[in-house]
Structure 1
């Protein structure tokens, strides 16, 4: 028995939920499909499918075997495609996942350049604050902000996220502008809580090279980036916002930076992909391109963002910067 063919037939039967439809799609006699499944069950010494005259259903062993078959067949297809792509360029469907603000403000404005470089690729871009399970959700690669836990993912550092502590002028007129970190005891913050854990994200400052956490009182907490910035603009309290997102409001005067001598700690930005998959040409092409994109953006690159806050005119600044602190929930993203 050809085990590879048997795996293909089995997955097609499950996907089609029918022996007949699977046989038709594969161009095989129904009797051949039935025999292959029977031989596969005999080889594995387990029952894979519950059969009746009206429906099919997977057994527990069948469900586990189906998942393994799908992964194996995908790896084989990806490996073969990588050799074909070497001659004709990357093609196929590329599923990526990125933080919402990074997608809106950094990737999308420059996406035509990537399309021109890889015109045969179909991009499926997920943009949300929700951390995804890359293997279970079949995501090829993703951009992550914050320290990455040990996992089965390969990570390539592509940039750094710098933040600023700021508030609306109306809020500062009511409560005064803090001059020291100790002054924050008399202030309110807009808190950002993780959509994954429900826990608020702690504030911190780098003081003499040491990260110091600060407890802040709050009258409002949100788990949406746009709402976070909107609350700050409405005068609900202080926020710690990534500079590349807060910049238009700092330039217009809608927000003012406070305690600039003590910056919030920076966070690494990485592009990640599953280690147990062959690095296909399409994934490699995206990883290389996005690394170039971030290197060309000083506000997200490895250099200090402060020097560029009011002078940089690249793709990450100006009127396109309308969003807010994605770092607050992304720092806790579970890969």
Structure 2
């Protein structure tokens, strides 16, 4: 296998030739003079030729040194340009931002916020993918993903946005026909719209807000759906009772199209998290997007007062 070129030594050679001095090159590069001298010697040994004539009064390039100088200068310039571009990209919000989100949250909560973000940061090009599958951030090249619930790869960087409430709701017409349950255990006898895309789909856990009593119930029903948005029409039509993410139903609750049921009981909230690839530094485009999401969701009616 061929050896990797000694890019560092070629860049140092270019700087020495440019300045005509080992000392000046060392000062400009922030290196010891001995390091600069050893790098040139290492390069000459590898090339089996002399690149620089050294005298007590001045330095001069050999023919081999002159032939290699242009390309060495390009190595130095390209390296400096790469670092400058990355440092600028890390500080200034620009470039492509690839975001993945669950479908329901993406449609109802995230997508409506994007025009405001894009207007604030016109140099960011945003790609949004809505999927119920867990994306591989590193293999698929995503900058971040928004996930609901736990079971997140601990090797990733995790930032919690807020905890999502899931109230128990039903249409007034459903409650008129079937009655209002007084305890979670009674839900086993009710027709339930079951969300199959969550781990707890048929096994619900409630905690009483005052007494702390915990109740577990296994529910069943005539409709099973793997997307919360698709549950809403059947819910409003009075076909069942169910737990729904609050961002889907808060307007219907305020308008009276849906009613809160067992309001003194709550189910464990689902954490909404942003996950990013491992690493200390997040690019500016990711940092500002994360800050924007925190500020935006903190002002939403369905997220106010929710534990962060």
* TM-score bin, normalised by smaller chain: 0.5 to 0.7
Superimposed CA distance per residue, residues 290-319 of structure 1 (whole angstroms, 9 cap, x where no aligned partner): 1222222252255379xxxxxxxxxxxxxx
Q: Supply the distance in 1 between the matched residues of 2:247 and 2:201 (Cα, whole angstroms).
A: 22
Q: Supply the distance in 2 between the matched residues of 1:155 and 1:293 (Cα, whole angstroms).
A: 19
Q: Supply the distance in 1 between the matched residues of 2:82 and 2:162 (Cα, whole angstroms).
A: 28
Residue pair 2:100, 2:130 contacting (<8 A) in 1 also: yes
Residues 99-118 of structure 1: pairs in structure 2 closer than 5 A: 99-118=102-121
Question: Do the aligned partners of residues 303 and 276 (structure 1) sit closer, same or farther apart at CA in structure 2, a change above 3 Å counting?
Answer: closer
Aligned to 1:323: none
Residue pair 2:185, 2:215 contacting (<8 A) in 1 also: no
Aligned to 2:175: 172
Residue pair 1:78, 1:280 contacting (<8 A) in 2 also: no
Aligned to 1:241: 244
Aligned-residue offset at 1:154: 0.6
**Who wins on radius of gyration, i.e. which is larger?**
2
Aligned-residue offset at 1:189: 0.9
Question: Do the aligned partners of residues 302 and 275 (structure 1) sit closer, same or farther apart at CA in structure 2, a change above 3 Å counting?
Answer: farther
Residue pair 1:153, 1:275 contacting (<8 A) in 2 also: yes
Q: Supply the distance in 2 between the matched residues of 1:4 and 1:180 (Cα, whole angstroms).
A: 73
Question: Do the aligned partners of residues 175 and 79 (structure 1) sit closer, same or farther apart at CA in structure 2, a change above 3 Å counting?
Answer: farther
Aligned-residue offset at 1:169: 2.1
Aligned to 1:152: 155
Aligned to 1:202: 203
Q: Of residues 124, 139, 142 in structure 2, which corresponds to 1:139?
A: 142
Give unmatched runs, 5+ long, in structure 1. Answer: 6-76, 306-335
Aligned to 2:190: 187
Q: Supply the distance in 2 between the matched residues of 1:270 and 1:4 (Cα, whole angstroms).
A: 43
Q: Supply the distance in 2 between the matched residues of 1:4 and 1:163 (Cα, whole angstroms).
A: 59
Aligned-residue offset at 1:78: 9.6
Q: Using structure 2 for the length normalisation, give the TM-score.
A: 0.66
Aligned to 1:85: 89
Aligned to 2:61: none
Aligned to 1:274: 277
> Match of 1:122, SS?
strand
Aligned-residue offset at 1:96: 0.4
Q: Supply the distance in 1 between the matched residues of 2:141 and 2:116 (Cα, whole angstroms).
A: 25
Question: Do the aligned partners of residues 127 and 133 (structure 1) sit closer, same or farther apart at CA in structure 2, a change above 3 Å counting?
Answer: same
Q: Using structure 1 for the length normalisation, give the TM-score.
A: 0.61
Superimposed CA distance per residue, residues 187-218 of structure 1 (whole angstroms, 9 cap, x where no aligned partner): 121111128x8x83532211344653311121
Q: Supply the distance in 1 between the matched residues of 2:250 and 2:177 (Cα, whole angstroms).
A: 23
Residue pair 2:104, 2:227 contacting (<8 A) in 1 also: no
Superimposed CA distance per residue, residues 255-281 of structure 1 (whole angstroms, 9 cap, x where no aligned partner): 211110112221211111011485222
Aligned-residue offset at 1:79: 7.3
Question: Do the aligned partners of residues 257 and 140 (structure 1) sit closer, same or farther apart at CA in structure 2, a change above 3 Å counting?
Answer: same
Q: Supply the distance in 2 between the matched residues of 1:4 and 1:295 (Cα, whole angstroms).
A: 52
Residue pair 2:202, 2:219 contacting (<8 A) in 1 also: no
Superimposed CA distance per residue, residues 78-125 of structure 1 (whole angstroms, 9 cap, x where no aligned partner): 9764402256x2221110012233323333333233223321111001
In the alignment, structure 1 residue 261 sits paired with structure 2 residue 264: yes
Q: Of residues 225, 229, 241 in structure 1, which corresponds to 2:228?
A: 225
Aligned-residue offset at 1:164: 1.0
Aligned to 1:311: none
> Match of 1:96, SS?
strand
